[in-house]
């Protein structure tokens, strides 16, 4: 149940709304919960053992500015601007509530610093499973709400876990992969929240799946697998000679092995980098699971056989970016979830948020007109089975061709066996066709945001 609301003052016994707040044309009205606040699609759970229901909710608001609009074919139509806002005097947050459906009494609440957009799963072992945007898939005690266990999946949790049994053994399967309408919002998540689609498939928008075995004495441990993954990543990414050496030896960068580093120091340095050196901040480029894998491996190089990677471990945050006022508005508009697939972040990723359908933004148009008429030579015309469509080519190999179909937003990833699709230069697709949800003044603010955060190509 939502804790913060102002759109009504109450509901009568016969279901009539009392004190409804309606928007006024041309004026800004804050509405709580906002369009993406309250109870989303992610389902509740019911436990026959406790007799309780378990429901996720998110607290967020909108600034609503009503205006007279005429519907235009092919463009979104909402009759105003919706700007996502934090609740007054608070930060946006999520919570899981347990209720007795017969009495309506709340039994317990589990609060979390961001929204919880994954569904809930209740099991006969008196456990409630779900996941958070930071990639942690976890279990709560169904009777007390106490967190009992967690596992870093490597990407934000947005889906629905399931449970099943094989030969008398119970399993839990959970997909991970951040995104979707509410999941892509920029203002409600810290920079460390991954917006990609999985551990190894983030570039293609895929997802990973974690499968657990519910054993009589606890969950299977995977630390050795995590360390092995860290060793592999270190060898490919860090042990280049120019940077560190093999197995933590010195290279162009200092030795890492046998230095007495603890997990907190290793995580801090790996995540935020070292100012003034070639040590970059991997916290914004590596999926969370890969980041923790590297930290675990480097910890073993320093004599820590079983690294502590629990959620109680201090985590250094990347310093927040300070934006000018107009650029800050532009950032909200760039990631504005209420515009659905008509928002910029449907195809572009910035600050670790959004979906990287196309290449990173490197050249910023001089003005709004240039933005609308942006030339897009990378958009081709693909033809298969007699049908032609605008396409962004991801790969063309001897076995298959992968493209994004741009016929309608959002772009759809399509995979064609070799020889079944032809790709030609040029397309009738226009950048202006996907900007219809924005007014010129809004696009001007978005350009201010881009100028503040994008490093122009040399």
List alpha helices for 273-381, DSSP H.
288-301, 325-334, 368-372
Look-up of token digits 């999985």: 198
pTM for this predicted structure: 0.46
Nearest by Cα to 210 from 193, 225, 196: 225
Q: How does strand 147-152 pair with strand 162-166?
A: unpaired
CA pair distance 317, 312, nearest whole angstrom: 14
Specify the pLDDT at position 110: 94
CA distance 354 to 372: 20
Contact between 93 and 59 (Cβ < 8 Å): yes
Q: What backbone torsions phi and psi does residue 297 show, to the nearest 5 degrees?
A: -65, -45
DSSP single-letter state for residue 38:
B
Which domains are seen in the chain, by residue range? 10-151 (2.40.10.480), 223-301 (1.10.760.10), 358-453 (no CATH)
Residue 433 corresponds to which tokens in the numbers above? 């066709």
Q: Which SS3 state, helix, strand or coil, does residue 444 take?
A: helix
The one-character DSSP state at 431 is G
Would you give per-residue pLDDT tens digits along the chain (458 residues)? 778 888 888 889 888 999 999 888 888 888 888 877 788 778 899 998 889 999 999 888 888 888 887 888 877 777 777 777 777 777 778 899 999 998 889 999 999 888 888 999 999 888 999 998 878 889 999 999 999 888 877 777 888 899 888 766 788 888 887 766 555 554 444 444 444 433 222 222 334 555 555 543 333 336 777 888 888 888 777 775 557 878 888 776 788 888 888 888 888 888 888 776 667 777 766 777 778 888 889 988 888 877 776 543 333 334 556 889 999 999 989 988 677 778 888 888 776 566 777 877 888 999 999 999 999 999 999 999 889 999 998 888 788 888 889 998 888 878 899 889 999 999 999 999 999 889 999 999 999 999 998 877 65
Structure confidence at residue 130 (pLDDT) = 94
Instruction: Specify the pLDDT at position 263.
Output: 80
Residue 25 neighbours by CB distance under 10 Å: 10
Angle of helix 288-301 relative to helix 263-272, nearest 10 degrees, comes to: 130
Checking DSSP bridges between strand 218-219 and strand 422-424, what pairing results, if any? unpaired
Note the pLDDT of residue 140.
93
Please tell me what DSSP assigns to residue 201.
-
Name residues whose C-beta falls within 8 Å of residue 85's C-beta, 6 or more positions apart in sequence.
30, 34, 60, 61, 62, 63
Q: Nearest 5°: phi and psi at 424?
A: -125, 150
User: Which residue from 326, 337, 278 is spatially nearest to 78, judged by alpha carbons?
Assistant: 337
């Amino acid at each position: 149940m939502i804790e913060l609301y102002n759109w009504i003052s109450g509901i009568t016994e016969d279901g009539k709304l009392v004190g409804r707040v309606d928007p006024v044309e041309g004026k800004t009205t804050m509405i709580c919960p906002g369009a993406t606040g309250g109870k989303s699609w992610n389902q509740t759970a019911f436990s026959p053992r406790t007799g309780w229901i378990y429901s996720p909710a998110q607290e967020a608001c909108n600034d609503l500015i009503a205006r007279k609009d005429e519907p235009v074919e092919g463009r979104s139509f909402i009759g105003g601007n919706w700007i996502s806002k934090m609740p007054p005097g608070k930060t946006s947050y999520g919570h899981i509530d347990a209720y007795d459906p017969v009495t309506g009494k709340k039994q317990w609440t589990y609060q979390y610093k961001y929204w919880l957009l994954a569904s809930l799963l209740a099991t006969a072992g008196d456990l409630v499973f779900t996941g958070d945007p930071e990639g942690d898939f976890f279990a709560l005690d169904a009777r007390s709400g106490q967190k009992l266990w967690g596992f870093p999946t490597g990407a934000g949790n947005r889906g629905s876990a399931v449970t099943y049994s094989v030969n008398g053994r119970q399993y839990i399967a959970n997909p991970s992969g951040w995104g979707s309408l509410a999941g892509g919002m920029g203002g409600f998540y810290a920079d460390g929240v991954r917006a990609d689609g999985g551990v190894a498939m983030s570039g293609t928008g895929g997802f990973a799946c974690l499968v657990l075995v519910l054993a009589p004495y606890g969950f299977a441990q995977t630390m050795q697998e995590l360390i092995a993954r860290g060793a592999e990543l270190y060898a490919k990414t860090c042990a280049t000679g120019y940077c560190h050496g093999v197995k933590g030896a010195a290279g162009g960068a200092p030795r890492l092995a046998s230095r007495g580093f603890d997990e907190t120091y290793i995580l801090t340095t790996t995540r935020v980098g070292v100012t003034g050196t070639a040590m970059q901040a991997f916290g914004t480029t590596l999926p969370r699971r890969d980041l923790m894998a590297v930290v675990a491996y480097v910890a073993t190089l320093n004599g820590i056989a079983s690294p502590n990677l629990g959620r109680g471990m201090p985590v250094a945050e990347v310093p927040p970016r300070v934006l000018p006022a107009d650029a800050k508005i532009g950032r909200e508009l760039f990631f504005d979830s209420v515009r659905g697939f008509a928002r910029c972040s449907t195809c572009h990723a910035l600050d670790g948020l959004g979906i990287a359908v196309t290449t990173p933004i490197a050249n910023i148009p001089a003005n709004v007109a240039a933005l609308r008429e942006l030339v897009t030579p990378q958009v081709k015309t693909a033809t298969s089975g007699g049908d032609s469509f605008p396409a962004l080519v991801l790969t063309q190999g001897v076995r298959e061709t992968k493209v994004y179909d741009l016929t309608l937003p959002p772009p759809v990833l399509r995979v064609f066996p070799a020889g079944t699709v032809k790709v030609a230069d040029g397309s009738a697709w226009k950048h202006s066709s996907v900007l219809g949800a924005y007014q010129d003044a809004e696009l001007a603010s978005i350009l201010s945001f881009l100028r503040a955060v994008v490093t122009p190509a040399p």
